Each structure stands twice: as structure tokens, then as C-alpha cells.
Amino acid sequence: MKPVVVMADMVTPYGRGTEACWQGLLNGKTALARVTRFKTAAFHSDYAGIINGLRYHEGASLVMQMMELLFEGVVIPEDAKLLLATTKGEIDLLEQSMLEHRGDAADAIVTRLIRKVAGLTRTKDAGIVISAACTSSAAAAAQAAAMIRNGNADCVLVAACDSITEFIFSGFSSLMALDSEPARPFDKHRAGLNVGEAAVYALLMSEERAARENRPVLGTMAGWGLSDDANHMTGPSRESEGLILAISKALASAGAGPGEVEFISAHGTGTQYNDQMEMRAFRAVFKDATRPVYSIKGGIGHTMGAAGLVEMIIAFRALRERIVPPTVNLKEPDADAVGWVSNQQQAVREQAFALVTNAGFSGVNTALVLA
């Protein structure tokens, strides 16, 4: 059975809704700003992609506040299988318990979070948590598509969320991975990433069920591939073999050749090593035949476990609107990215495939082929 996406939405630093994120990116406007949620003087940066209006260490966790916004007024089929993607879930509840001696540290366990999400969405499935570093939601989307293609399900809800807390911020700062200015993916002068927060969902169905229920189709999950280069706990392999393998698997899964890919939504964190690794992989797979590459992380930051699903939905929008969004904050492309990345919108031809790539700690890589 063919897996198609019939509903999707997001809450990002641009605001509530896919439209807010899409328009922010098209306008080349960054949502990265200075953090006021907690003190940042001890860290390497004070920039992040924050969702305004969330309460920190007060009442519900940050991710549950985002999830409540995300699913407000949304009706999900109660028989949908549930996949939840996150790296740290309700980590602010653990902070609260450890630092302020309020609440139970066990409340931060992700199995408790998935029960909350199931209750919020009124799905009957117990659900599965997928936590694969910064590829979590892309891996979850691939898992959902595989469940449908293999006939194990005809309706799967993929939800993803991660928030910015002092714990998260200090972790990336300790790795010296943060840019002290808004992140500049693929730029010659890039100096690191900015973290961001988001909640996002996609409802996948078999093409047959979508037609039976007269569901509008946002796009098709044509192929997917996962790999791990097993290079380092946090650093990608300089040879890019893991991402090359994931892309090759995704293209084979889609029955597509490299020439059929019209554009690439890259992981594009803004770190030296990630962006180099990705460009090396793209050049190897596409044989230096340039096509538009962009990253949305200069707009909303690196939303960690939610990143892949946000990027997948934006790529579907790009296919539908036939516009490749610009890479926000890009000023001077790095030498190996010249001719590939741009800070201007570009046109997309009809009947094209899009490629979405993600990479994460431990060397995990995902690639999704969309139509």
C-alpha cells in the first residue's frame, strides 16, 4: 500500500501553523532571538528559536503546552497507530525536580509523555516512542510509512516535540556547538548551530483509506533509508559514507534515480562538520550535478527530535507550491556549496521528487524521498 500524508501541522518559533513557518522562510526572516527563559551568561550563545508564550517550570511541561496548541480542534482517527518522536521529552520536569525539589523526577520518563499524547489525541493505541537523536521524527516518519507499505497499518499518527530548557542549552554549549549569532547554514563564516523548539504532527494513511475517506493528500512518502556511520558519539564521519548509504537506500525504496530529485532539504545545522559532510554526500550521490539545497535551521533553529518532521512538511509544501525556500541567514556560500545553496527562492518543476536528509548523534542518518 502507498503511504500518503493527509494531515499535518506544526508549532514553531514562527508561530502556530505550517503557513506561519512557510511564510517566515519565504520572507528570509529568522525567528532566532535572544533567550530570556533562563540565564545564558555561562553559555557560548544566547540565541535560540523560542516559541513565545510558553510557561517555564510552571504547570504543564513545555512540550505538553506545545502539543495542546498543536492538537487544539484537531480530530485524529481513534484507530490510528501512534508514534512519538523526541530526544528529551519533558526534560523540564526533571529540571524542576532536581533543581527546585518540586514534583517527581519520574514524570520526565517518555513513556509517561506518550500516554499524555495518546490522551490528548484520543488515539487508543499504546504507541511507540522513537528517540534516535536529531533524526527521531524522520525515522518515525519512515517507520510509519513502512508500516503502511507492509500492510501492518492503514493509519499512523506521527507526533514529534522537543523544547529548549537550561539542560538542553547547557549540553550543546558544553560541546561548543552553538553559534553566538543566528546560525548560518552552509555559509563560509558559519560558526555553529542554534537550538530551537517545535511540536509537529503528520497523519499518514494508505492511499486506499485516504480515497475511501475522501481525504486530501498533501504528498506521498515515496522512499526512505536509514544508516549509522558508527564514527563518533557526536561527530559525523568526514567521509559521509553513512548519509550516502541512507540516501541510496531511500532512492532505491522510491524506485527513483538521482536525476529525478528536484531539490534537497538538508539537515544543515550550521556546524562546520555537519554541513561539510552533507555537501560531500550530495556531490557523491548527484555527481556534482547541482540542484537546489536549503536548510530551514537559520529560520527556526535546530528543533532536535522534531526537526525531520518539520522539514518533511515544509518540503511537501515546496513541492506543492513549486518553490524552493531560501536558506535564511546565508550570505556567502561555502566553497563546496556554491551553486547548490541560495538565499533566494527557486522554482520547482512538476512531477519531481524531494529529498529530506537528517543526521544525529552516534552517526545516525535518515533520508526521505517525497512526491
Q: Pseudo-torsion of CA 86, 190, 42, 358, nearest 10°? A: 10
Across the chain, the runs of DSSP E, i.e. the strands, are: 3-12, 15-16, 33-34, 47-48, 81-85, 128-130, 155-162, 198-206, 219-228, 261-265, 293-294, 323-324, 346-347, 353-360, 364-370
Residue 189 annotated in active site? no
Which one from 134, 155, 161, 232 is the annotated catalytic residue? Answer: 134
Which one from 21, 57, 155, 267 is the annotated catalytic residue? Answer: 267
Q: CA-CA distance, 198 to 181, in Å (whole number)?
A: 20
Amino acid at 27: N
- The C-alpha cell of 348 is what? 520547482
216 in Cβ contact with 362 (< 8 Å): no
Residue 44 annotated in active site? no
Residue 302 annotated in active site? yes
Distances from the Cα of 208 to the Cα of 2, 3, 212, 221, angstroms: 8, 9, 6, 14
71 in Cβ contact with 201 (< 8 Å): yes
- The C-alpha cell of 109 is what? 520518563
Q: CA-CA distance, 251 to 318, in Å (whole number)?
A: 19
Active site residues: 134, 267, 302
